[in-house]
Structure 1
Amino acid sequence: MKRFLRPWVIALLLSPLFMSCHRTTEAELSMQIKTLDPGINLSDQIIGLSYECSSLLPQRGNYYFDPNNTELLNIFSTLGIRHIRLGGNSVDEASIPQPAEADIRSFFEFAKAAKLKVIYSFRLKESDPWYAKNTARFILDNYADQLESFAIGNEPSYYKDYALYVSKWTAIRDAILETCPQAVFSGPDQNPDAERLKLLADDFAEGKGRLVQLSQHNYPFGCSYVNYKEHDVSKLIPRDTLLRRNDLLSDSAYTIYREVRDGMLEAVKGKELSFRLTETNNLWYSGLRGVSDRYVSALWGLDYLHWWSAQGIAGLNFHTGDSTGGAIALPCRYAVFVRSGKALEARPLAYGIKMFEQGAEGRVLPLKISSAPAQQLSTYAYLNKDNEVLITLINKNIPASHAMTADGKLSNSIDEESRPSGIRTVSISLDRDFSQAAVLQLKAKDNYVGAPAKDVLLGGASIEADGNWKGQWQKLKKPAIRKQIITLELEPASAVVLKIALK
């Protein structure tokens, strides 16, 4: 059966990125890439996922994590996922059973097949030391190569007294060490709290503490609902969709990121500790409909991964699943992908993750901006082992016509004068000659940040229901390249990765 290109796909291929036509632009950015002075190496486990511990439990006799689930293995491979953390609210929810050996075996067999490193969490609240030490023994006896560390509890701020928290945490740790003296731990797996983070690092990072990684959660844009304490989910009031979309793409988000980073860096300073965001996404409480499940989350996730990678982080685990939560579980709006029958449905965030996987490898390269930076245009560069420069450009500007309410009026929550929009022109020069360049584009239909996954393409292709992706890089030709300078026009709400082969 013939497959015809959708009209908007044809429009993508005829866009300014692939053609030489000139357009009037609102701003221009000139940047120089310094390839001779590369910075830090990226972790090979940057891309991770976080799941509820309850996802290990069988549903209707079947396991979510089944080593024979080809589609799930495919999408883990496609997205470059190399790390998984099990925890979430369900780990400390007394009404939810703790996984049995058969449940754990199925999960770790999947992790082995997918070549994952695992953080496995034990219950802290109303914990069972006997269960913890015997389960830890089972895991280390059978799956030591897959295990990275154990964690204890989830967001333990319910223990206001740090001393009480430490006594509970230590009791489980010591029970595990009793039968597994080689075990190592990460923690505290809580929302940003620089003081508690530093206390835990000071108390357990050295000597017999066995703490090897500081783990923190971060949902930078807050809760998905105004009245999050409401237990009747039918009465939950969602936050303003247009405002939250604007937040995800605003440069002001970096202020939030920096505050979280600074707390983690201060805690690990002078210690043999790595740090990781073991549970993160855009808006907590399973995400906001119309934001977390739309194209805007792809652009946000791509930028978020790049920004954190440059900080020396061990990795990020995006919380996901078909549903998330403990006693109250909701459909997962911020999911990377969800099951749809026997197939998988990649959500927009998956496209941002895949683009990062294609464009982030090797060592971070410094950038020199020789003209005033364009508002809401993010740039990142790397030098990989194949002597290729990888450059990601993200135009986070939203066309003004897409920031309207359903009745055609401007949202009161967004200032019309400060609303970013339009094409951005970027000129790139390197300090070394190069032989060729190719480009990969991420775009939604009509550049609409509220587009669903079906209207999102990466390299002209979707992530398919079997977890595979068949996108294509496009070779850049003149006049995009002239005298070793590459000039591109970026459409609003789009991103590209450039791959440049050095001579």
Structure 2
Amino acid sequence: MAFGLVVPLALVSNPRIGRRSGQPAVVYVATRARTSRISPQAAGLSYETSSLLPGADGVRYFRADNASLVRLFRTLGIASLRIGGNSVDQGSALPTDQDIVSLFDFARAANVKVIYSVRLKDGDPQAAAHAAGLIHQRFADRIECYSIGNEPSYYKDYDIYRARWTTIRDAMVAADPQARFCAPDENPSPELSARMIREFGNEAGRLVQLSQHSYPFGCSYRNPKEKDLARLVPFDAAESREKMLQPSAYQVYQKIHDQTARLVQGTSLSFRLTETNSYWFSGLQGASDSYASALWAADYLYWWISHGAVGLNFHTGDRTGGAITLPARYAVFVTSPHGYQVRPLAYGLKLFDLGGHGTLVPAEVRASPHQNLAAYATLGEDNSLAITLINKTHGPAAAPTEVQIRLDAPLADAQVRAIELRSANNDIAADASTVTLGGAAIQEDGTWNGAWSEMPKSAISRDAITVTMLPASGMVIRARVR
């Protein structure tokens, strides 16, 4: 990947930026201990099926000539697009042939693979087969896999669910002999997942991916069963932002992983979070749409990829779907007068895009308890090294953190570059208007002109790099090792 623009180092390793937080944090990067290769479709988005339908003006959201949306997908590095959500089973209207063609024309223009869901609840096998046949005939290169239904916990009897799922699958396979499926597209459900793998995780069953949903921090509201939207009581935004950035979040991820992702070990199936975000029920205002979400998303994506997931699809859109629709507070971006206005979460995805390609290599952090630092590293085939640092230390008392990166291999040269993610005043409550990556914002037309900074020679030695990170910031450092 090209480094892009290079400007003199402004903020990286500048000892004049405030006081430092005591002892430096140390990151040990083992470039010779290569682990797993990151899937090209690691970063993805998830949309409601209803987003395929034309708007009130007759214009479709997903279309090949939607230049701003195509550009934004490419800018953010989005390579997977899942279509499903509540509206696949609860919506009143199914996508027409024209809707499906427009979606896949967009997918081709944006260079994404599609996970396409068909209706399970009261679903028509022939309608599903028709859609699969159309996709197979015209867009076989764009379909990743099919999903049948969404969060099928409404089927209390597994035998009924299995029979319905199998009937629709068989009809789709008859129309698309190459059809592959992911399932069950459910909130963590170890028993259902294990049954699906056991019965369908073979060549005849066509199940190739275990797909799960996860909103690790729970509901946005204290009373989610309330039907009167005006009476919904949100959780405290400040406390919710803290939950997103605390190390205890890893325990939540690990529990979900152990319940679900471990089930594919020893099988040919992959694992993917096909619908995920911070808080369910449309997201929590002041948390899901705050700068904290940028730091959280980059760390969350890397954590799951480093724990075996092939990718994550962040649920997004202008509004959520289903029986109740609300503005999507957890959106990656929303429609705006001149294109799409990004939310802070988009910057977390872009930070991953700048460093999350190639093969993962171990990056071990040794820091004091008050230094909340995450680190990940990847290595390219040409020995290009990308180190992503996420400093989640924040608050009025937080000071810049010195980070010493120690490598097990010497640097090939002294050409080391970095790019920084930050918000004004290092405020995790900030909205997107103050967030920059490489000194630049992502524009409504999908363009971004962030600049890499060349690090001073004084910060580089034979096998080490030293940087100073601002509180609540992210950074990608790129170098080459021998």
Normalised TM-score (structure 2):
0.94
CA contact (8 A) 1:395 1:492 kept: yes
Alignment pair present for 1:489 and 2:468: yes
Tell me which residue corresponds to 1:195. Answer: 191
Q: For residue 366 of structure 1, report the CA deviation from its aligned partner.
A: 1.7
Tell me which residue corresponds to 2:419. Answer: 440
Alignment pair present for 1:68 and 2:62: no
Structure 2: distance between partners of 1:320 and 1:27 = 40
Q: For residue 373 of structure 1, report the CA deviation from its aligned partner.
A: 6.7
Superposed CA offset, 1:378-437 (max 9, x none):
011111123211111111012137xxxxxxxxxxxxxxxxxxx33322111212222121
Tell me which residue corresponds to 2:441. Answer: 462
Structure 2: distance between partners of 1:496 and 1:487 = 12
Q: For residue 367 of structure 1, report the CA deviation from its aligned partner.
A: 2.9
Task: Within 5 Å, give how 1:215-294 maps onto structure 2.
Answer: 215-294=211-290
Superposed CA offset, 1:459-496 (max 9, x none):
00000111011000101103322454222221111111
Structure 1: distance between partners of 2:463 and 2:180 = 50
CA contact (8 A) 1:29 1:373 kept: no
**SS of 2:260 mapped into structure 1:** helix
Structure 1: distance between partners of 2:462 and 2:79 = 40
Match 1:159 to one of 148, 155, 168: 155
CA contact (8 A) 1:437 1:476 kept: yes
Match 1:330 to one of 320, 326, 329: 326
Structure 2: distance between partners of 1:230 and 1:26 = 48
Mark the CA change 1:210 to 1:61 in structure 2 (over 3 Å): closer, same or farther.
same
Structure 2: distance between partners of 1:335 and 1:310 = 24
Amino acid at match of 1:274: S
Amino acid at match of 2:260: M
Amino acid at match of 1:97: A
Alignment pair present for 1:473 and 2:452: yes
CA contact (8 A) 1:29 1:374 kept: no
Superposed CA offset, 1:140-180 (max 9, x none):
11111111111001011111222222122112112222333
Structure 1: distance between partners of 2:154 and 2:22 = 49
Task: Within 5 Å, give how 1:96-495 maps onto structure 2.
Answer: 96-369=92-365, 375-400=371-396, 421-434=398-411, 435=413, 436-495=415-474
Match 1:83 to one of 57, 80, 85: 80
Q: For residue 181 of structure 1, report the CA deviation from its aligned partner.
A: 3.0
CA contact (8 A) 1:28 1:374 kept: no
CA contact (8 A) 2:151 2:184 kept: yes
Mark the CA change 1:27 to 1:395 in structure 2 (over 3 Å): closer, same or farther.
farther
Q: For residue 126 of structure 1, report the CA deviation from its aligned partner.
A: 1.1
Deviates more, 1:285-294 or 1:155-164: 155-164
Q: For residue 371 of structure 1, report the CA deviation from its aligned partner.
A: 6.0
Aligned residues: 472
Structure 2: distance between partners of 1:126 and 1:369 = 51
Structure 1: distance between partners of 2:301 and 2:11 = 27
CA contact (8 A) 1:43 1:313 kept: no
Alignment gaps of 5+ in structure 1: 1-11, 402-420
Q: For residue 352 of structure 1, report the CA deviation from its aligned partner.
A: 0.6
**SS of 1:390 mapped into structure 2:** strand
Mark the CA change 1:336 to 1:136 in structure 2 (over 3 Å): closer, same or farther.
same
Mark the CA change 1:369 to 1:54 in structure 2 (over 3 Å): closer, same or farther.
closer
Structure 1: distance between partners of 2:462 and 2:206 = 55
Amino acid at match of 2:473: S
**SS of 1:331 mapped into structure 2:** coil
CA contact (8 A) 1:27 1:374 kept: no
**SS of 1:309 mapped into structure 2:** helix
Amino acid at match of 1:147: I
**SS of 1:323 mapped into structure 2:** coil
Alignment gaps of 5+ in structure 2: 1-7
Q: For residue 135 of structure 1, report the CA deviation from its aligned partner.
A: 1.5
CA contact (8 A) 1:52 1:90 kept: yes
Mark the CA change 1:158 to 1:452 in structure 2 (over 3 Å): closer, same or farther.
same
Amino acid at match of 2:408: D
CA contact (8 A) 1:206 1:271 kept: no
Tell me which residue corresponds to 1:416. Answer: none
Deviates more, 1:259-268 or 1:224-233: 259-268
Superposed CA offset, 1:338-374 (max 9, x none):
1102421011000010011001111111234566576
**SS of 1:76 mapped into structure 2:** helix
Normalised TM-score (structure 1):
0.90
CA contact (8 A) 1:20 1:480 kept: no
CA contact (8 A) 2:333 2:346 kept: yes
Q: For residue 251 of structure 1, report the CA deviation from its aligned partner.
A: 0.5
Q: CA RMSD in A?
A: 1.8
Mark the CA change 1:424 to 1:483 in structure 2 (over 3 Å): closer, same or farther.
same
Q: For residue 442 of structure 1, report the CA deviation from its aligned partner.
A: 0.3
CA contact (8 A) 2:187 2:212 kept: yes
**SS of 2:451 mapped into structure 1:** coil
CA contact (8 A) 1:54 1:96 kept: no
Structure 2: distance between partners of 1:370 and 1:137 = 54
Superposed CA offset, 1:176-227 (max 9, x none):
2233332111100000111211111111001411111110000000011111
Q: For residue 258 of structure 1, report the CA deviation from its aligned partner.
A: 1.0
Structure 2: distance between partners of 1:223 and 1:22 = 38
State percent identity of aligned pairs: 47
Amino acid at match of 1:123: R
Structure 2: distance between partners of 1:202 and 1:149 = 19
Mark the CA change 1:237 to 1:103 in structure 2 (over 3 Å): closer, same or farther.
same
CA contact (8 A) 1:278 1:317 kept: yes
Structure 2: distance between partners of 1:99 and 1:324 = 17
Q: For residue 100 of structure 1, report the CA deviation from its aligned partner.
A: 0.5
